[in-house]
Structure formats: structure tokens, C-alpha cells
Amino acid sequence: RLVIYVLAIAIGLLVGCLFGIQPSVNGSLGASVAHPLQASLISFGSGTALIIIGCLATGNFPPRFTTAPSGLPLWMWAGGLIGVMIVTSSLIMVPKVGSLLWFASLITGQILTATALDHFGWLGNPQVTASPLRLLGAGLLLAGLLVIVAAKWNDSRAAAAQIALPPSDEVTGIK
């Protein structure tokens, strides 16, 4: 059981690193096309092509449902829509606010939502009580987000103050 936890953490960290660079990659792509939605289309198109190749290579194409598609709840069809919102909003926002602030917001939102999903057993998740220790961890992430926001605010104010100051020779008269 410990091995699966260690493996999950290692894979999660690796995928998290990839997730961390994705908006920068997409943002650069977005700067190279006429509209952010075009960058999203290219991003999802390349991802879709890779998934189709993987499914074909493993004999898992076309998709075969174990439950009739008409019997699935609507929320199960929302994954692609959520992905489009994440990718598109990321490629728009990361160039404006930076990766750290954006990802701190995304991760905190994910943790808060995951805490509720687990606690109430929503969307097919096993029910796991939001214990005081779990709530403390989520609260610390929220506190971390607030510290990052404060740092960004402080950096912005310092940069604005630098712009407002006259060059040093005008203040001192020394050239």
C-alpha cells in the first residue's frame, strides 16, 4: 500500500511539472496565432491526435461503453468542456499574471473542490471525511495563495514606484 502512495506522489509530481509548463507553452502558441481560441484548438487537436494513436495502438478504438451513453449523467460529459476552460483561461491569464499566481489559484481551487467532493462523496468519489487535519492542509494552501497574491501586489507597487521616481541625477543634481 505504501508503494502505491509513493508511486502516485511521484507520478503526480511529474505530471504536475508538466501541468505547470502547459500554460506557458500554450501562451507562447497563443501569441503566435490570431486568437486564444485558435491556440486552444491546436492544443486540443494535438492532444486528441495523440489519444487516438494511443487507443489505436492498444486496440481501444473506437470507444466502447459499458453503460449506454444515453444513461450517463450529464456531468460525465463535462470533462472536455472543463479542459477547454482550463487551457483557454490559462493561456490568456498566465501572460498577464504569471505562472505562480495562476497556478496557486488553480491548485487552491482544485484542493478546495476536491475536499468537498471527497467529504460528500460527490461525482462518484469515495466518501472521505474532511477531517481537521485535511481542512488544515486546505487552509494552508489558501493561506499560501494569499501570501503569493500579497507578494504580487507588493511587486506591482514597487515597480509602479520605480516608474514614478525621477532619474537619480535629477534628484541629486549629480551627473
Q: Single out the residue of 146, 93, 138 nearest to residue 114, CA to CA.
A: 138
Cβ-contact 88, 36 below 8 angstroms: yes
Q: What is the mean pLDDT of residues 118-135?
A: 95
Ranges 84-98, 138-152, 154-168, most confident: 138-152
From its phi and psi, is residue 74 left (phi > 0), alpha (psi between -120 and 50) or beta? alpha
Whole-number pLDDT of residue 175: 55
Q: For residue 165, what pLDDT is reported?
A: 63
pTM: 0.75
Q: Is the peptide bond before 167 cis (omega within 30 degrees of 0)?
A: no
Q: What is the 3-state secondary structure (H, E, C) of 54-113?
A: HHHHCCCCCCCCCCCHHHCCHHHHCHHHHHHHHHHHHHHHHHHHCHHHHHHHHHHHHHHH
